[in-house]
A and B are shown apart, each in its own frame.
Chain A
Amino acid sequence: MADWISSIQSKFILNFIEDDRWRYLLDGLVVTLELTFGALVIGIAIGIIVSIIRTTHDKTIETMRPGPGRFFLILLNAVCKIYVTVIRGIPVVVQLLIAYFIIFASSTNSLLVGTLAFGINSGAYVAEIFRGGIMSIDAGQMEAGRSLGFNYVQTMRYIIIPQAFKVVLPTLLNEFIALMKETAVVGYIALKDLTKGADIIRGRTFSPFMPLFAAALIYLVLVMFFSWLVGKLERRLRTSDH
């Protein structure tokens, strides 16, 4: 028993204490969080814009008067559709490599490239989530807003989007959690995130158990923490649903 404990102790010292190896995990965690939040912000921004274009097209094109506005909307909608199809049809690792080695080949800032790549990727999924949310709001809400004199954009902003946001919040959380775990492949473009950090320790110490389980545990705790946080937020938003 004492042997076992002292063996664990020496493994712990070897993997985390010696040469300050815990720093690989901490620095990696910071990179993972930066990447995830940066990509989330980009993804939500893209997602809101794309979903509004798509739903506006689907709901109003039938009744829209011919003219440049109508043509522009059809064009935008086509661009958004292609974007969603392409992004959702290609593995994120491939997108990441294309972004790093081809599109932004001149950039040496792999954190920025990684954030952009994951953000653009996430945007396609968030767009579909938001689109479902907007479509789920009763048509009477738009009519009520318009009948009071709000224009289309104002009705979306004050009446439709806040309700749609509430509907999609749980799904959005799932996307956020999936995104955080997906960023673990960012080591492909030489970015030292949490996973890469753990793998570096493994490479140095030839002792895979502790660094890999440490990384796994940190991901798990993060996911549980964010689930709890959004659950709280959801309960607050639900006050209007008694």
Chain B
Amino acid sequence: MTINRSSSDVIIKVTGLQKHFKGGGIKALDGIDAEIRRGEVVVIIGPSGSGKSTFLRCLNLLELPTGGTIEFEGVDITDPKTDINRHRQKMGMVFQHFNLFPHMTVLRNMTIAPMTLLKKSKAEAEEKAMALLKRVGLEDRHGAYPSQLSGGQKQRIAIVRALCMDPEVMLFDEPTSALDPEMVGEVLDVMKQLAHDGMTMAVVTHEMGFAREVGSRVIFMDNGQIIEENTPDMIFSNPQSERLKNFLAKVL
């Protein structure tokens, strides 16, 4: 999992991305151009309704864009001929509401995808799952069902469930927004660890501390457009646009 952070090859390239929801003619995304390079932690911030979650969900086509292209490792995944299921295997996703499978144990949550999709043996999949559980300090919970876990534990499991597929990039959709305040830290710690290990990450979050500390780049979105994009230092200490200044004044 050690990836050379200085390498600058583009893993996701978004060009002219648009998303118009039917009815009302709302433009959730209005011409987004962005790149995510290997080993980067791109943090996407912005007011609610700015389209940041829609943008993230377009990256693995959970939301179908109505215009523009998304290239993942050089392949245009918005082309209907592309087998999106294969590409999704390499794009882990973590949701605001965890979305663990409630009818399966923690271990089964983590092994079902590698066993079914990557044809890993049970022993192999479980070995990897247990190693990941150990990394997030939850190895003793492998037999528990999701309903027996706290929110913070659920989200840590959701993160390692995605990691079981050995993804090239991890997408985080407001991973701490549904958590009680005292549990936010444990999830952010896991994400920091992951970033430290060199994982490519795209993170939609309201945690400005995380953006400043861990982000290699911060994207500020509003009204479906990217307003500003810069290093965390520049975004937080030297915002250019009025909208970003306003936003920061409210959240900091």
Contact = CB atoms under 8 A, between A and B. Distances in A.
Interface of A: 62-63, 65, 138, 140-141, 143-151, 154, 158-159, 162-163, 166, 239-242
B88 interface: yes
B145 A63 contact: no
B93 interface: yes
Interface string B100-123: 111110000000110011000000
10 contacts: A65-B80, A140-B97, A144-B99, A145-B101, A147-B92, A148-B113, A149-B86, A150-B85, A150-B116, A151-B85
Main secondary structure of the interface of A (DSSP, over half): helix
Given A148-B165, A158-B112, 12 more contacts: A138-B99, A141-B101, A143-B95, A143-B99, A146-B85, A147-B88, A147-B95, A148-B89, A148-B117, A154-B116, A240-B104, A242-B148
Contacts of A241: 102, 145, 147
B101 A159 contact: yes
Contacts of A146: 62, 85, 88
B44 interface: no
B22 interface: yes
B64 interface: yes
A65 B102 CA distance: 32
Nearest to A166: B103
Interface residues of B, number: 31
Contacts of B89: 148-149
B60 interface: yes
B162 interface: yes
B64 A63 contact: yes
A149 B167 CA distance: 11
Contact of B101 (A144, A151, A154): A144
Nearest to B164: A148
A31 to B, nearest CB: 37
B214 interface: no
B91 interface: yes
Contacts of A149: 85-86, 88-89, 113, 117, 165
A146 to B, nearest CB: 7
